[in-house]
Structure 1
Amino acid sequence: MICHFRNYQKLNYLNKIKIGVFLLLMIGAGTLSAQTIIRGKIVDAQDGEPLIGANVRIENTEVGTVTDWDGVFRLETELNPPLTLILSYVGYENMKVNYAQNDPPLNIAMNSQSINLGSVVIKSERLTEKQKTAPLTVESLDLNAIKETASTNFYDGLGALKGVDLTAASLGFKIINTRGFNSTSPVRSLQIIDGVDNQAPGLNFSLGNFLGSSELDVRKVDIIVGASSAYYGPNAFNGVISMETKDPFFHHGLSAYVKGGERNMLETAVRWGHVLRNDQGDAWMAYKMNFSFLRADDWEAENYNPVFDTEAGVGNPGGYDAVNIYGDEYYPGNDLTTAPPWRFVGMGIWHRRGYKETDLVDYDTKNIKGNVALHFRTNPDAEYLSPEIIVSSSLGNGTTVYQGDNRFSLRNILFLQNRLEFKKKDKYFLRAYMTIDDAGDSFDPYFTALRLQEQAKDETTWSADYTNYYRSNYAKKPVELGYPELQIDVDESGNIITSFDRDAAQMWLDANQDLLKEWHQNAQTAANQPSPVNNGSKAFYEPGTDRFREVFQRIISRKSNSTEKGTRFYDKSALYHLHGEYKFEPTFLKSWTVGGNARQYRPDSDGTIFYDSAGVTLTNFEFGIYSGLDNKWGNREQWTTTLTMRLDKNENFNWLFSPAASVVYQPKDNTYLRLSFSSAIRNPTLSDQFLDFNVGRAILSGNLHGVDSLISLDSFDEYRKTLETDKLSYFSIDPIQPESVKTVEAGVRTSLWNKWYLDAGYYYSIYNDFIGYKIGLKGTFDAQTGLTDELQAYRYSANSTNQVTTQGASIGLNYYLNDVLALRGNYSWNKLNKAFEDDPIIPAFNTPEHKFNLGVSGRKMKIPSLDLKNHQLGFNINYKWIEGFLFEGSPQFTGIVPTYDLLDVQINWNFINLNTTIKIGASNVLNNQKFQTYGGPRIGRLGYITILYGN
């Protein structure tokens, strides 16, 4: 065993004054505790890694605690030193350590046992006290789990956690969601890295880990499942993805890896951390530098099935609207199905030739991430208990495909984040950061397809050319080939009688589908040529030709505003955030936390996304304050209660209150029962407030001030049949308001028979004021003819008036066969209790009702005929099953995601003496190509090999 002790040096005069004033204030407030506080850190004697969940107990008492993720512990007792501490940890030799009065923090290194255990006691296996007593469902990946994940990377590995939905819209863009109402624009989930919001300021949501942290620098990931605004602030609506990076004081030296695989994937990363010490040998500064690079051929979106609930299917002679072809959408002017069947025979519905996404999108995914951080200890003598100043800067850049209302090609997007923080662990922090993004050369492929068509021929001219060709060449053909004619007779009274054999007509149409397809194809070919009546029209721009490339580059290089009329985004938005928190420790409570934060958004899109053109400057300011009480009580302090209250104010909306309360009961060691009430609010995003985005067929608009006199789509359909304007009905939309959710949750965490670990929970949620969309028309009409003079479709952000409830349950079970092998499984059930079919506002649930994971893993396995001390083998296998569900996005991207399953496998060989690990594996190893989001690509196998040096 190794145990290091070091005496404090004498405090300087200034420090004495500070502490004296502090003590006087504390005594005057009556909150100074007379308890003995023992602090320390426990690490592995071999590699210096912190031991998570090691037990620390005062000899001959029941007073104890466990170490946290950093191997750090804090133990309070009313007993006076000297005291003897008993230390224990699974697979390590027990230790006794003496503690005297005023000893400095303990630095303890434990030796692993030299024999294999017949069974494994899992009291604290990878779980901190904070996790076990957490009032909400918390899923985690620790440092070992990150290294051992069977997926291609740690972020994909989050999808194997209980209750977590991971959706791949492309190779570079992954979405994490929990408990329903999923979206490819994850505005209802909050992603933070070291407490810093990782959202893109203009989009108001995170782009997965595309602009996040290098895998080499991630120490752990916690997913807090469900409503969490009281704990994490606005927008922690469905949950929080909290990443914590490695502290260079504890994780220093060189780490690097190179990863290669299928789809021409190449990923490299390097991390360097270093500690500087003063003349007394105290670490006073540490720094780290990170760099990572990824390139790969992205998955291509090639779904050419008809869009969900379309007017025409695959067999329609005039074509149909395919999911990943843009510009072929249904157009009312190309629909003659309501005409009498003896007129326009065979025309029905016809579609314009569109452009495949593969003709428009750059699938060469690239991602560069860099980070530099400086850490300064203001009191080096106190080591990890010292206050700390952190200065860091992070940069992300790359090219990928993002899916929202449309599919978007993000090219050379840039993300810059600077952070300044002053903190003391578990006591206080003051954090300031700013985030700036730059959309680079990003553009909208859907809108680009429409622009390409407009450059050749406007919709009205194209439709007229199509119709004229068809009628000129084929109007009389059907009758000549046996199609029934309208029969007109006169009865004895002179009345005209008409008759038509509809059955015979339908039989003829069914029997001549190939002929009709030929006619429609000829009509489309003619309409795609320059118009005979419009000298300004041009032929269809054929992909792959020079004339296509020329006009395509011209369109995507111009901004998508009313001046330049291109499809490129201009987004140089920014956010500025300030957050402070202080934790008191009065005698009558375990802790009392107070805090507050303020944020300002500064969107800048030059009219390409928001209505900030013509000199209009947009800003949005919000702030919040919160307070939380945490206490333990009972004979054995087996009860833990928390109460948190939070108030938030956005400049454009009223005050919002999001309380939370919980109780956790520990009836026996390692069994925790929890009951909680939590709530969350979500302020409307910048898009919900300020959006002004023309996507061709409609203008997507924010709704900060309300909307009057929109024409309903149903009434417009009735008007089209008669051109009678009195058929039109109008409606208004109230200004957008925040949405809210309240959740009650119950659960249990326990160890069983020294080999099992169980975590199960149930929740019930109530949602109000869902933010969704309403679609309507604005237009003017000729008073004489009733025809439209102008007509424009709008989609406005709006709130639902209905209340929705959801419920769900999850269970996770781990079985530890021995100190090497472990089995695991989890199951999740999520249910939307009632859907309001007549309410267009409620967002889609977009979540499978049933899903489960099964896995088996081995670590530090002995390799026959090799020295165990220098070679270790590990593996991880995970099987995931996802039930099919209806994914509701935009009209273009709504449809069924079929049931699918995935098998991820990896095996790793650790060369301990070389500090190197080789890892070989594959996500979706059986190449089960399935959609994970409707409108996205089929995701197949991605095999890889990784060589990792360092920790």
Structure 2
Amino acid sequence: MRLYLLFLALFFCSITFAQNSIKGVVTDEKNQPIPGANINVAGVKEGTITDYDGSFVLITKQTPPFSLEITAVGFSSSDITVESLSQKIVVKLNSEETKLNEIVVSASRAPERVLQSPVTIERMGIQQVKSTTAPTFYDGLENLKEVQFNTSSISFKTVNTRGFAAVGNTRFMQLVDGMDNSSPALNFVLGNLIGLSDIDVASVELLPGASSALYGANAFNGILFMNSKNPFVHQGISSYVKYGQTSQDVAGTNDYFDMGIRAATAFNKYFAVKANFNYMKATEWIADDRRSMTGGSIGHAENQNYDGLNIYGDEVTTSIPNVGQVSRTGYREKDLNDNKVNSVKADFSLHFRPWANETEIMLQYKVGIGNTIYQGANRYALNDFLMSQTKIEIKGKNFFARAYRTSEDAGNSYDMRFAGWNVQRAAKSDTEWFTNYATAFQLAGAVMGTNAIESAVTAREYADYNRLPAELASLPQFATPPTGKPRFEPGSPEFTSALNAIKDNPDFTKGAKFTDQSKIYHSDVNYNFKDLIKFAEIQVGGSARQYEMNSSGSIFTDYDGPIRYNEYGVYTQGSKLFLEDRLKLVASIRYDKSQNFDGNVSPRVSLVYSAGAQKTHNFRASYQTGFRNPTTQDQYIGLDLGPFALIGSAPENLVRFSETLNVSAAGQAAYILAGRPATPTVVMNGNDAYNKSYTLTSVKDFSEAYAVAANETERANAVALLKVANVQLVRPEEVKAYELGYRTIINNDFSVDINGYYNQYNHFLNTSRVAGVYYGDVNAAFNPLDPLSPVAALSRGDRRIYQVYSNTTADVSSLGFGIGLSKKVYKNFELGANYNYSQLNFDQSEDPGFVTGFNTPKHRVKASLGNTRLFKNFGFNTNVRWNSEYLWQSSFADGMIPSTTVFDAQINYALPQYKLLFKVGGTNIGGDDYIQVIGAGSIGQQWFASVTINP
């Protein structure tokens, strides 16, 4: 209650100061009001914006005469002189094509037009947010050129540019008001969890491709900048309410609700405050892909080793003599979580201008909490997952310095695959279940004369539910009933009780909960010497970061306390104009050092030449490098996933990770035969995985050949198939990026943007599976008489499978090109279209076990048609997207993503006198459900209607 009263006092009380008031209106050439136009007093930091009827009230300390500068996206600028306080300011702006004339900052850390940017850049401003056909501005990013979405959840969408991205895109950076909002433990962005609200977006800028020379590690394949509105300029109370429905074949039709409020005020020219609150809830795009990952028919009725993609627990499988390979029944993903999505995010900031000039000090706190689905090696239900950021920043005309902390709490999140495994084990252990199955299968055939399929049905009925046909129930083999319980049916009290207990247990052998309270501490500085150095524009800057992993040993090897490591970077950039300001040269270089790796140097050089009388034909060329440090998981993960374990490759982590494993009875006997004490257990650590193992693919080839070998020669040939892994410790990956481009505006209404790129990757980060043996030397010559040889260990099952992290030595490269066109085709109708081509170059024979995960269609086409001023107060927009089919590769599942065509549309109507904007829209209109990620839910249709109140 006290916080609520403080909020009211802060934003709804007024403080009066002796200031001058100037009123006016801004319209277009057809006398239609222009909302969102910027009104600034020339030479000082005072300004305001127009509301929905184009009117404005400017509060200023200035006394006439003084000048006003009026600008608006999509219109030419205008200057007007204020002669008296009673003067009614009437400004008329002319429309112009400005997609390439808009000002951006991210490409060079200095203001410049998109037209003259040295690299490819895309931008979304306030007008584009208003006209987006998607439910939110963040969803609308999918319609930008070069952007591809990977959708894991209705609220978790990952931006991908130029390939190599899964759901967790560690090669793409996202900055919100200058803060990297990647998860400290997961190392990638969780969509818009702690991003911006539609009503607080000032601008969005996208740089596809490498940007490490200015932005450091992980600005590898692209970077997204989201900038919020400043309360000194954008004041008042704004709010929106959005209601709609989602429709999916699996989930049916369900409600969708989204609302937000923004409050901002400048009490005077020294102090302003801002707050945002947003809430969203919906039903998930339910994942229910039942294709068999082991081949054969779908379902256990005709496939006793069935492993459904979105069924968990049926991965538990064993080979039963005279029966074959058999899997447990498992549970569908839709039964292991409530399939509800919700999100709450808020931010609060205080803004000070102590000297009433461009220097501003900001204190900001952002928090987001919600439920969503993340897909990595498994599928994870992120329940009550919380992230927060706290920042202090000071920025002026030519500098900024900021420091912030990102923290997270996994809340009640859990692994749904382990949930499925352990719910069924809570009813009956794996050993008992498979024993029940084998007994019933063999006796069904012998006593009842059933075929294999019928016997399998009988066996599963008995193993799952302890039920038998009358012919078998009376047999002495079944006189003692199983000690395990019948299978827990989804929705039953027994199922719910078991699932809740497992979701709260962090021991993956019995539970599914993961714990995480990791943090990132980060700081940035930058100074531009343009007012001190005249021959060129010189900037210098740097950053420092500390990672703190704190999972209590549930994810990382931090069982004895948090693990911390540091990294830092410094850079400088110079730009210079030549040839009557037609040629712009930009060069930068950065040095980065991570605690666990050698330093990395990232240079960038670019040229932009502006041809034509009006400098409207701009040719650009650039060379730049990018690098990505191994993530916290690549280095320090130590996670037992049951069938295999994940081990990070930091040198200290190889010792920190260890586990005790049970030696088979045959293995214990071999110890005695070798004259050594019987050893029931062995202790293995990361060194065994990285230095004393075989590649898993070679072990599989060996096992198949060894099982059918009839003599010593054939057994020796099988042994020859084994390949020692010799895994090298992971190091940063690098990319060299070459790009050419051309931009122009023709006749003020036709824009063209063409680019082509070639990327060459070195030390591409890779994961691979290896098999470590409990005993024996994998580097020694095979001795068939040695009872403790590694080959003997493999044949007895005395092995442990690990997923390890390293770099491929194979050559990997990609290339692509794109073209974007925009034209005013009739009055204010604007037609846009773009095409992107992407190609991967990789010879699989150089590294047969390496999975590139390019995950990008070769061809993509997008088009739009809209009119923001179709007639008075009415506008509309449409978008269509198409992509060719492509291969999806990930640690969860591989498969082909079919070609897809998606059509979105919206109409909007404004009531300027009431500050209201009504909007109705839909996505995937008339289309079938489609997928963007193998293993995630199919994306259906979404309809929404909203009303926005904006001062």
Under a length normalisation based on structure 2, what TM-score does the superposition of the two structures give? 0.80
Q: Which residue of 2 aligns with 1:49?
A: 36
Say whether the 8 Å CA contact 2:150–2:166 is kept in structure 1. no
Secondary structure of residue in 2 paired with 1:416? strand
Pick aligned residue for 1:247 from 230, 241, 260: 230
Equivalent position of 1:895 in the other structure? 895
Residue in 1 that maps onto 2:453: 517
Matched, 1:378 2:379: no
- Cα 1:361/1:92, change in 2 over 3 Å: closer
Q: Which amino acid counterpart does residue 391 of structure 1 have in structure 2?
A: L
Q: Map 1:477-556; keep pairs closer than 5 Å.
A: 516-529=452-465, 537-556=484-503
Unaligned runs of 5+ in 1: 1-8, 10-41, 57-66, 70-81, 101-106, 278-282, 337-343, 482-514, 863-867
Question: Is the CA contact 2:101–2:113 (under 8 Å) kept in the aligned structure 1?
Answer: no
Q: Work out the CA distance in 1 between the residues paired with 2:724 and 2:627.
A: 31
Q: Does 1:276 align with 2:264?
A: no
> SS where residue 944 of structure 2 aligns?
strand
Structure 2 gap ranges (5+): 1-17, 19-23, 28-32, 43-47, 51-64, 105-111, 246-253, 467-476, 652-686, 708-714, 776-786
What are the equivalent positions in structure 2 for 1:908-927 lying under 5 Å apart? 908-927=908-927
1:744 equivalent among 738, 748, 767: 738
Q: Is the 8 A contact 1:630 1:640 kept in 2?
A: yes
CA apart distance, 1:716? 3.2
Q: Which residue of 2 aligns with 1:708?
A: 691
The yes-or-no answer on 1:609 pairing with 2:555 is yes
Change (3 A) 1:374 1:623: same
| Equivalent in the alignment of 2:865 | 856
Question: How far did 1:244 drift?
Answer: 0.3
SS across alignment from 1:206: coil
C-alpha displacement of 1:86: 11
Q: 1:131-173 deviations in whole A, cap 9, x for unaligned? A: 2221211111111001110011111111111111012111111
Q: Which AA in structure 1 matches 2:866? A: S
- What amino acid sits opposite 1:300 in the alignment? I
Q: Deviations over 1:316-354 (max 9, x none)?
A: 5325211101121374525x7xxxxxxx4xx45433211
Partner of 1:626: 571
Q: 1:311 to 1:459 in 2, by over 3 A?
A: farther
Shift of residue 43 of structure 1? 10
Preserved CA contact (<8 Å) 1:126 1:142: no
2:156 is the counterpart of 1:173: yes
CA contact (8 A) 1:93 1:112 kept: no
SS in 1 for 2:934: coil
Which of 194, 204, 208 is residue 225 of structure 1 equivalent to?
Answer: 208
Cα distance in 2, alignment partners of residues 840 and 759 from structure 1? 39
The corresponding residue for 2:361 is 389
Q: Does 1:258 align with 2:241?
A: yes
Kept after mapping to 2: 8 A contact 1:43/1:51: no
What does 1:121-270 align with in structure 2 at a 5 Å threshold? 126=102, 129-262=112-245, 263-270=254-261
1:454 to 416, 425, 434: 425
Matched to 1:850, the amino acid is H
Secondary structure at the counterpart of residue 601 of structure 1: strand
8 Å Cα contact 1:220-1:243 kept in structure 2: yes
Residues 763 and 807 of structure 1 are in contact (CA less than 8 Å); yes or no, is this contact kept in structure 2?
yes
Match runs of 1:389-408 below 5 Å: 389-408=361-380
User: Deviation at 1:459?
Assistant: 3.5
Q: Which amino acid aligns with 1:468?
A: T
**Cα distance between partner residues in 2 of 1:779 and 1:587:** 64
- Contact kept, 8 Å, 1:120 with 1:818, in 2: the verdict is no
Partner of 2:779: none
Question: Take 1:131 and 1:312, find their aligned partners in 2: how far apart are those partners?
Answer: 54
Partner of 2:383: 411
Q: Which residue type is aligned with residue 598 of structure 2?
A: N
8 Å Cα contact 2:100/2:745 also seen in 1: no
Which residue of structure 2 aligns with residue 473 of structure 1? 444
1:593 CA displacement: 0.6
Contact 2:37 2:70 in 1 (8 A): no
Inter-CA distance 95–738: structure 2 relative to 1 (3 Å threshold): closer
- SS of aligned partner of 1:817: strand
**Preserved CA contact (<8 Å) 1:906 1:922:** yes
In the TM superposition, 1:288-307 aligns within 5 A as 288-307=274-293
SS at 1:368 equivalent = strand
Q: State how 1:794-833 maps to structure 2 within 5 Å.
A: 794-818=802-826, 820-833=828-841
> Alpha-carbon deviation of 1:795?
0.6
For residues 574-622 of structure 1, the C-alpha deviation after alignment (integer angstroms, 9 at most, x for no partner) is 1111111111015443411100110001110011111111x24311211
Q: Is the 8 A contact 2:36 2:72 kept in 1?
A: no
Contact 2:76/2:96 (8 A) holds in 1: no
Cα distance in 2 for partners of 1:942, 1:132 equals 35
Cα deviation, 1:664-722, whole Å, max 9, x if unaligned, reads: 00012222111001111100000000111222221122111361111333443334664
1:778 Cα deviation after fit? 2.5
Per the alignment, residue 341 of structure 2 pairs with: 365
What CA distance in whole angstroms lies between the structure 1 residues aligned with 2:594 and 2:442? Answer: 59
AA in 2 matched with 1:896: M
Amino acid at match of 2:880: Y
From 681, 687, 691, the counterpart of 2:637:
691
What secondary structure sits across from 1:147 in the alignment? Answer: helix
User: Once the 2 structures are TM-superposed, how far is the Cα of residue 793 of structure 1 from its aligned partner?
Assistant: 1.6
Q: For residues 249 and 218 of structure 1, what CA distance do their matches in structure 2 show?
A: 15
Q: How many Å apart are 1:96 and its aligned residue?
A: 6.1
What letter is aligned with 1:854?
A
Between the aligned partners of 2:74 and 2:519, the Cα distance in structure 1 is 49
Alpha-carbon displacement from aligned partner over 1:279-322 (angstroms, at most 9, x marks no partner): xxxx1111111000001111111111223x74766695325211
Contact 1:770–1:842 (Cα < 8 Å) also in 2: no
Q: Does 1:666 align with 2:653?
A: no
Q: CA 1:631–1:364 in 2, change beyond 3 Å: closer, same or farther?
A: same
Q: 1:835 to 1:331 in 2, by over 3 A?
A: farther
Q: What SS does the aligned partner of 1:733 have?
A: coil
1:402 deviates by 1.2
- Secondary structure of the structure 2 residue equivalent to 1:935: coil
SS at match of 2:918: strand
Indicate the percent of aligned positions where both proteins have the same amino acid.
Answer: 30
2: CA distance between counterparts of 1:650 and 1:736? 13
2:654 alignment partner in structure 1: none
Aligned to 1:933: 933
Amino acid at match of 1:167: N
681-690 or 355-364, larger mean C-alpha shift? 355-364
> Compared with structure 1, are the counterparts of its residues 109 and 158 closer, same or farther at alpha carbon in structure 2 (3 Å cutoff)?
farther
> Matched residue of 1:939: which SS?
coil
Give 1:120 shift: 5.0
Distance across 2 between alignment mates of 1:94 and 1:429: 28
Provide the rounded CA distance (Å) in 1 between the counterparts of 2:96 and 2:361. Answer: 41
Contact 2:38 2:70 in 1 (8 A): no
Residue 639 in structure 1 maps to residue 583 in structure 2? yes
**Displacement of 1:271 after TM fit?**
0.2
Which residue does 2:771 correspond to in 1?
A: 777
In 1: Cα distance, 2:113 partner to 2:618 partner:
12
Aligned residue for 1:825, secondary structure, equals strand
Q: 2-side partners of 1:788 and 1:43: how far apart?
A: 84
CA distance in 2: counterparts of 1:43 and 1:743, whole angstroms: 48
Matched with 1:79 is: none
The Cα shift of 1:772 comes to 1.7
User: Per the alignment, in what secondary structure is the counterpart of residue 893 of structure 1?
Assistant: coil
Which segment is superposed worse, 726-735 or 144-153? 726-735
CA spacing shift, 1:43–1:459, aligned 2, 3 Å: farther
